[in-house]
């Protein structure tokens, strides 16, 4: 046998292919397994990186909504607290004037970001703040009638209407709080 090429000089046969370290490497599955594992790890890393990036983009896109939501909710809480503590008709009007544009900004931000389509609680949150704002406006109308007709036989009905609207507004603000908390957790 030739020591350089492995050719059997006596029998004239070519060298055997499955002998020595080369044959051991060819039958070892470890490199193939490692290659597959590396490819899977790269795919998983790409998947998680993409999802992280997508979540960051979504959060960035929703930021105007959450800013407007916080501002509108803060104004609704100011109104809610002032009604509980007692306030003048003039101060009530000032708070109502401050609340209305915040709710409008919220609705605009909800449409601009499209969050209402992605998160149903966002739509419900907006609806509750609109309901609260409308109830506060109706309460002002009741209060105005009560001021105009203080000695009217229906004065107690006017007071009851005012209190009912404030109660409806209070419930709507409480519901908005719940939806806002849910939205922040998502």
How many angstroms from the chain centroid is the CA of residue 132? 22
Q: ∠ at Cα 87 (83, 90), nearest 5°? A: 115
- Give the model's pLDDT for residue 128: 97
Query: For the whole prediction, is pTM greater than 0.75?
Result: no
pLDDT values of the chain reduced to their tens digit, one per residue, 186 residues = 556 556 566 666 665 555 555 555 567 888 899 999 999 999 998 898 887 877 676 666 678 899 999 999 999 999 999 999 999 999 999 999 999 999 999 999 999 888 877 788 999 999 999 999 999 999 999 999 999 988 888 888 999 999 999 999 999 999 999 999 998 887
Domains detected in the chain: 62-185 (1.20.120.330)
Burial classification of residue 44, based on how many CB atoms lie within 10 Å of its CB (0-12 exposed, 13-18 middle, 19 or more buried): exposed
Residue 78 three-state SS: helix
Structure token digits, residue 60: 């960035």
pLDDT of residue 4: 57
């Amino acid at each position: 046998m030739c020591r350089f090429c492995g050719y059997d000089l006596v029998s004239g046969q070519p060298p055997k292919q499955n002998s020595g370290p080369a044959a051991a490497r060819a039958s070892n599955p470890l490199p193939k397994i490692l290659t597959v594992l590396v490819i899977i790890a790269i795919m998983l890393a790409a998947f998680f990186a993409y999802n992280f990036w997508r979540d960051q983009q979504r959060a960035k896109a929703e930021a105007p909504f959450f800013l407007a939501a916080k501002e509108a909710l803060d104004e609704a809480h100011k109104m809610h607290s002032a009604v509980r503590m007692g306030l003048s008709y003039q101060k009530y009007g000032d708070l109502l004037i401050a609340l209305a544009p915040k709710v409008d900004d919220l609705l605009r931000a909800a449409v601009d970001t499209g969050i209402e389509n992605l998160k149903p609680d966002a739509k419900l949150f907006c609806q509750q703040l609109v309901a609260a704002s409308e109830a506060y406006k109706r309460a002002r109308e009741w209060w105005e009638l009560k001021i105009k007709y203080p000695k009217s036989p229906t004065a107690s009905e006017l007071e009851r209407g005012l209190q009912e609207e404030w109660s409806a507004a209070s419930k709507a603000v409480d519901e908005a709080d719940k939806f806002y908390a849910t939205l922040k957790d998502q």
